Amino acid sequence: MRKQAQFEEWLQASLACKAEEIEPAADMWERVRCRISTMERGKGIMILAKKLGNYLFFWQPAWKKTMAIALCGLLLVGGSVFGISPQARAWATDTFGFIVFKVIRTGDGYSLVKLSSEQAAPEGGASFGFGKIGNAGEIPACEIPAKVPVRIKGTSGGKGTPRYATAAEAKAKVGFPVHLPEYLPAGYKLEFIAADKWEKTGKGFVNVMYRVPGEHMKTVDLMLTDEQGFLKGGDAVRKVKVKGETAYWCEYPIATVTAGDTGPKVKAGHMLKWEDKGLAYTLRDSGDLSLEEMVRIAESI
């Protein structure tokens, strides 16, 4: 007998012998029939020996696979459309993109230039961005780096800064005399006095806000601090005199956008900065006060 044949014979005999260990159960058919009947009962409404769902949904998909395929297809189609079509990309940028505007100083003030998202890096001027103009609401005044005032954190008189009813209370907090202007243009009322000290330097600041009631953009903001080097930035700087001392009058842009607007707007605000008895004063106007009026306010302090 050949070796291979003998080997195969061994295999056949062994497998046959092993297989004989098992016999089908006597009720095998009954169990299968029972399962089949159960399945058929659970099939639902039968019409002409066919499940109703089979008429309505002749294709019975595997949902996980279908969802995965649909998602891949969507990504593929979307990628192709936006990859190929510049119009689609432009539409997406307009619809979903982060719109960025750059503030540019012109001969008679400021203007806004709309930038694409790639050009949004704020080099050589200020820029600000928001989602949809219609939903943006009002944004705070734009602080422009380089030639515009640099606001030091914690001097905004915001909610985190303690507020006081009188100048004397603010003085007790900061430790230097706080004098408020005796003159204010018609309509301006004191809104709040905020004062605090910077933790790192121990220097204090006082922020006094005046506003024309009901006029959001008509504000005058007086800041005084014993921190040196506070006077920075601004455009169109002019030297003026306040109580015989040199002061600086300059412009800064204020960009606003309100709901329902067609686009953001930018206007010039003004700022008067001077030093007196070791204190740095900054008077900022968001309205349309003239230089003379601002100097008059400053001299009344």
Judged by the rule CB under 8 A, the positions of this chain that interact with another protein are 1-8, 10-25, 28-29, 31-33, 35-36, 39, 49
Nearer Cβ to another protein (10/183)? 10
List the Cα angle 32/33/36 in 5-degree steps.
90
* Least gap, CB of 92 to another protein (angstroms): 45
Hey, is 139 helix, strand or coil? coil
Calpha distance 156→290 (Å, rounded): 23
Q: Answer yes or no: are the C-beta atoms of 286 and 218 closer than 8 Å.
A: yes
Question: DSSP assignment, residue 48?
Answer: T
The CA distance from 86 to 197, in Å, is 53
At closest approach, how far in Å is the CB of 10 from another protein? Answer: 6
List the Cα angle 135/138/143 in 5-degree steps.
125
Alpha-carbon distance 147 to 143, whole Å?
A: 10
Q: How far is the CB of 67 from another protein (least distance, A)?
A: 23
Report the nearest approach of another protein to the CB of residue 41 (Å): 14
DSSP assignment of 153-186, as one string? TT-S--TTS-EESSHHHHHHHHSS-----S---T
CB 252 within 8 A of CB 220: no
Q: Which is nearer to another protein, 26 or 186 (CB)?
A: 26
Q: Least separation, in Å, of the C-beta of 66 and another protein? A: 20
Nearer to another protein, 14 or 300 (CB): 14
Given the complex with another protein, which of 4 and 106 has the nearer CB atom?
4
Nearer to another protein, 29 or 183 (CB): 29
Backbone torsions φ then ψ of 269, nearest 5 degrees: -100, 170
Q: What's the CA gap between 274 and 57, in Å, rounded?
A: 81
Rank residues 19 and 56 by Cβ distance to another protein and give the closer one: 19
CB of 52 to another protein, least distance (A): 17
Tell me how far apart the alpha carbons of residues 144 and 248 are, in angstroms, rounded to a whole number: 18
> In whole angstroms, how close is the CB of 1 to another protein at the nearest point?
4
If the CB atoms of residues 28 and 168 are measured against another protein, the closer one turns out to be: 28
Contact 62, 55 (CB under 8 A): no
For the bound state, the minimum distance from the C-beta of residue 64 to another protein, rounded and expressed in Å, comes to 17
Q: Pick between residue 6 and residue 228 the one whose CB is nearest to another protein.
A: 6
- Report which residue type is found at 213: P
Helix count and strand count (H, E) for the chain: 7, 13
